[in-house]
Amino acid sequence: MNQHTKISAAPDFAAIKQKQNAAWNSGDYARIGSTLQITGEELAEAAALPPGAKVLDVAAGNGNATLAFARRFCQVTSTDYVADLLKAGEARAAAEGLDVAYQVADAEDLPFKDGQFDAVVSSFGVMFAPNQAQAAAELLRTCRPGGKIAMANWTPDSFIGALFKTLGKHVPPPEGLNSPALWGTANWLSDVFGDGTRHIELKRKNFTFRYASPQTFADFFRTYYGPVHKAFAAVGETGAPALERDILKTIADFNVAADETMMVPSEYAEIIITKA
């Protein structure tokens, strides 16, 4: 072997998840997540499940998909590995009188039986699991034959995809970790789900981030969105101005507002998979 050959070790998924958990526990993702509610509603409409269907929401956050499916009289079990996010989702469900079960669970090791659910869903959640193949396998395993896996995932070319690339320039991601945005690509979905499915439907859609100004968005995400919050903490006071400038530049690249406000469409993939 060439003495200069570098052998990349397998990612330490347990350590990565511990850091991710800390990131999502920082800030207050519920403040961000609730603005995306329309995507959960559209996902539930696309899934077109009958009332009474048993639904598992994986990496549910504060419950956008959970609420959408519960509003359509599905029996929803809402899970996430961040307990505080589930509590925020539970409060939202209680305010509407929705009957939802909540359980702390890891997307890569779901504590449910094979084929227990008619549908397994995720809205901008499971895509951030570090061991992507394992998470995909768990979605398939817990869905019954003929059931559906319904997801909303950011695409690589989306504004959020660009935002994460910007963060990565200042705080590099763990070595060997794949981009979460792979979950928004047809080829990757076919590779990891294909053998266990009858059909994979992917529709490209846009969610528009609307804020009073680009600076408002930057400040809001710096305060409440865990990954951005942690990135600023990592670069410290000396690195913060450069990180903020790059975030504002990323916004400018996508902003279609004709005034001083922010109106940024961010592409995402709405995915409906029918299990074999």
Residue type, 215: Q
Contacts of residue 47, defined as CB under 8 A and 6 or more positions apart, other chains included, come to 69, 119, 121, 148, 150, 272
* CA–CA separation, 78 and 85 (whole Å): 10
For the chain, which domains are there?
14-275 (3.40.50.150)
What is the pLDDT, as a whole number, of residue 1? Answer: 44
From the list 54, 59, 118, the residue with the least C-alpha distance to 89 is 59
pLDDT in tens, the chain (276 residues): 444 444 456 788 877 777 777 777 777 899 999 999 999 999 999 999 999 999 999 999 999 999 999 999 999 999 999 999 999 999 999 999 999 999 999 999 999 999 999 999 999 999 999 999 999 999 999 999 999 999 999 999 999 999 999 999 999 988 888 999 999 999 999 999 988 999 999 999 999 999 999 999 999 999 999 999 999 999 999 999 999 999 999 999 999 999 999 999 999 999 999 999
Residue 159, number of CB atoms within 10 A of its CB: 23
Q: What is the DSSP string of 205-220?
A: EEEEEEES-HHHHHHH
42-45: long-range contacts (C-beta < 8 A, 24 or more apart)?
42/152, 42/205, 42/270, 43/68, 43/121, 43/123, 43/150, 43/151, 43/152, 43/270, 44/68, 44/69, 44/71, 44/72, 44/150
Query: What three-state secondary structure class fits 21?
Result: helix
